[in-house]
A and B are shown apart, each in its own frame.
Chain A
Amino acid sequence: KNQVEQSPQSLIILEGKNCTLQCNYTVSPFSNLRWYKQDTGRGPVSLTIMTFSENTKSNGRYTATLDADTKQSSLHITASQLSDSASYICVVSRKTSYDKVIFGPGTSLSVIP
């Protein structure tokens, strides 16, 4: 079954600290993996898109990694800020499904002063 799982479910960190969020997927055949940031009550905003051949991609303080062999991805946030408080969602596309993507449940991150 094509699924995306994320851990932890929620995380609280101090402002300025780093953190890493995990995503595991069983989606096949794999096309790409996206990380989105979703503020409460808002639409998701894209952070990174990674294809099979990419194993690291950065976007400012966000760095995503992908291991297509183990079907795992991580999102590392460096020097966290209060504005990083949001849900971070891992989304996977299949090669055989051009437009339908599979969302993970998200990790809720709270950055506290």
Chain B
Amino acid sequence: EPEVTQTPSHQVTQMGQEVILRCVPISNHLYFYWYRQILGQKVEFLVSFYNNEISEKSEIFDDQFSVERPDGSNFTLKIRSTKLEDSAMYFCASSEGRLADSYEQYFGPGTRLTVT
């Protein structure tokens, strides 16, 4: 069964460093998402991506974040200069169509980012 994959599973980085989190969405899906979940807190929307551009983003997704689909399969989240408060689990997700149109959304297993 197709699934969303994410690498690495765990990333440790020093404050101020750049990190790139990678995701491979399900192959026929058109909409891609990044979410984060700080330990013990709820899942938070960061950004959605469609047709090679950001379709929506949250207040959390500021200038230090960027997303890219560098080729036909990968979808990346870059954090330019990490802060301690960026420590969280980051989930990638994908769907065939828009969530408001009740399409299923599939999540990856997550990347645990630890900023020291």
A binding-site residues for B, Cβ under 8 Å: 31-32, 34, 38, 41-46, 49, 51, 89, 93-95, 97-106
Pick from B11-19, B43-51, B67-75 the stretch touching chain A.
Answer: B43-51
Closest to A49 in B: B102
- Give me 26 A-to-B residue pairs in the complex whose CB atoms sit less than 8 angstroms apart, sorted by A's number: A34-B105, A38-B43, A41-B89, A43-B4, A43-B91, A43-B110, A44-B43, A44-B91, A46-B104, A46-B105, A49-B102, A49-B104, A89-B43, A93-B99, A94-B100, A95-B100, A97-B56, A98-B98, A99-B48, A99-B50, A99-B99, A100-B56, A101-B99, A102-B45, A103-B43, A105-B42
Within 8 A of A (CB), among B18-73: 31, 33, 41-45, 48, 50, 55-56, 58
The 8 tightest CB contacts between A and B, nearest first, are: A43-B107, A99-B48, A98-B98, A31-B100, A105-B42, A103-B43, A100-B56, A98-B100
Please measure, in the bound complex, the distance between the C-alpha atom of A14 and the C-alpha atom of B110, giving whole angstroms: 30
Residue of B45, B48, B99, B107 near A44 (CB, 8 A) is: B107
Chain B residues within 8 Å of A, Cβ to Cβ: 4, 31, 33, 41-45, 48, 50, 55-56, 58, 89, 91, 93, 98-102, 104-110, 112
Residues on the B chain within 8 Å of A44, using CB: 43, 91, 107
Q: How many angstroms from the CA of A32 to the CA of B104 in the assembled complex?
A: 11
- Which secondary structure dominates where chain A touches chain B? strand
Assess the B45–A51 pair: CB atoms within 8 A: no
CA of A31 to CA of B102, assembled, Å: 8
User: Inside 8 A of B110's CB, which chain A residues have their CB?
Assistant: 41-43
Are the C-beta atoms of A103 and B91 separated by less than 8 Å?
A: no
B89: which A residues are within 8 A, CB to CB? 41
